[in-house]
A and B are shown apart, each in its own frame.
Chain A
Amino acid sequence: MTAAAVITGVGTVAPGGVGTREFWQAACAGRNLLARITRFDPEDNPVTVAGEVRFDAGALIENRYLVQTDRATQFGLAAADFAMADAMFEPPALNPFAAGVITTSCVGGAESGQRGLGKLWRYGPHHVSPYQSFAPCHAATTGQVSVRDTMKGPCGVLVTDEAGGLDALAHARRAIQRGARIMIAGAAEAPLCPYALAPQYSARMLSESADPDTAYLPFSHGASGYVPAEGAAMFVVESAADAAERGSRPRAVIAGHGATFSAVAAYDPSGEGLAMACRKAIAAAGCQSQDIDVVFADATAVPAADRAEVTVIKSLVGMKVPVTAPKAGYGRAYASASALDAATAVLSLEHGIIPPIPALAEPIDELDFVIGAPRRAELRTALVLARGYGGMNSALILRRPGH
């Protein structure tokens, strides 16, 4: 019997709100928070609508970290703060070498990279900041949290696109089972700059609609790709025994995780890889598919990928289990999308409330989609799904403690 890994803290930075309570309220309200991009002038870009975070970096991030970090890392540092406060954990840990950080990002610090390239070509090499050596790196968020909060134990970085947010929690669980005492795990993304978005345009996965109300309609006949978003979600993960000893409240048990790599297309149109990830997660959790009370869908709004996901969900849990995708209201924030979904799942289990898909006028299937308004339900077990561009599939099972 291995130690059960539990989530004792949740921290979120999202278009709906900076802070976990704000995020949860926005998710439950089911409003559409998408809008025309303001972080740069999107006039000549095919993508003009996104989910932006209203973030006062100066108020949340210590100055010395502010000058050397990308917006993504600033989101990550703030979300880590929220998560640690939620877990009543104040770093440093008693033994910093048993405290670790695992974060994931698809886009990394692209905005810093863009700024550095601009200075390089416009003014020359002497005008590129020394911080350019790490600020744009995918590893920067793990590094800065580790440095700031004296977490000297197992640290790592995952790059698996949207699947990463779930993979990071699985990694944290493994680290706990291998002897780490406390892990900060999660995702941070700030992809709303031309340098990050431009390479994605040719794949035609991003919605090019200029109408925020209809730009992102997963599982709908009108689906035309997803709307990009920024944000972060971080978690405090520790063993159930340590949580009990610290007197912190276990919010959810990381019960099982499965990951596969289909590598057949942008998103495996057969859904086989995703189905296998689900089966592995269910087996790892030691439960049955009929134990699942709610599904948080990946919801790409790419028609072939939506159909594949519907097929997987239907074959796994049938038609009677509620399926939701709150991200339809605030956008798909790459690795943070699944981390935010995991955060939503933790809060759903806790409150017995499923936040809705804001709007779904013409669903492509008769699955029990939660639409328009939050739904009360007795929830014990949640399944969260995520797929990365290129074939990553990930499934995570979270369980309410004591069930």
Chain B
Amino acid sequence: MSSIPELTYQELASVILKRAGITVNVHRLCHRLTTFADIGVDSLGMLAVVRELEHRRRVDLGAMAAQDCRTPRQLMSRLHDAQNGGV
């Protein structure tokens, strides 16, 4: 499977802005060491972001997605897996 294109990170950035109210640079967002805590998304903000992604992509990321995915990269990977047939 090919790596997730940057366009999706762009979309993640817009979801984070819409649901957590935080503006984040896409380059920072897709850096492998960046965590959601680094950019200021707290646990509740994570729930809101995950819920929005689930609605947009019509997938179930699993009950623990907001806790498990500490980095945008982990969340994107979880989304990728879900879209390609189950978590």
Contacts and interface: CB of A to CB of B under 8 A. Distances in A.
A253 to B, nearest CB: 39
A126 B51 contact: yes
Interface stretch (B4-12, B26-34, B40-48, B77-85): B40-48
A288 interface: no
B48 A129 contact: yes
A218 to B, nearest CB: 41
Interface residues of A, number: 13
Interface string A123-142: 00011011101000000000
B19 to A, nearest CB: 6
A64 B51 contact: no
A64 B21 contact: yes
Contacts, number: 34
A66 B21 contact: yes
B37 interface: no
Contact of A68 (B44, B51, B54): B44
A67 interface: yes
B51 A129 contact: yes
Contact of A67 (B19, B47, B51): B19
A67 B21 contact: yes
B21 A130 contact: no
Contacts of A62: 21
Interface string A280-317: 00000000000000000000000000000000000000
B38 to A, nearest CB: 14
A63 interface: yes
B23 interface: yes
A171 B18 CA distance: 37
Interface in A188-205: none
Given A129-B51, A130-B51, A63 B17 contact: yes
Nearest to B43: A130
A97 interface: no
Interface string B45-87: 1011001001100000000000000000000000000000000
Residue among B21, B45, B48 facing the most chain A CB atoms (10 A cut-off) = B21
A63 B51 contact: no
Contacts of A131: 44, 48
A6 B18 CA distance: 41
B22 A130 contact: no
Contacts of B54: 126
A336 to B, nearest CB: 25
Contact of B21 (A68, A126, A129): A68
B55 A67 contact: no
A129 B22 CA distance: 17
Interface in A101-155: 126-127, 129-131, 133
Nearest to B47: A130
Interface string A53-68: 0000000001111111
Closest 5 CB pairs of A and B: A63-B21, A64-B21, A130-B47, A67-B21, A130-B48
Given A67-B21, A129-B51, 18 more contacts: A63-B17, A63-B21, A63-B23, A64-B20, A64-B40, A65-B21, A67-B18, A67-B19, A67-B20, A68-B21, A68-B44, A68-B45, A68-B48, A126-B51, A126-B55, A130-B47, A131-B44, A131-B48
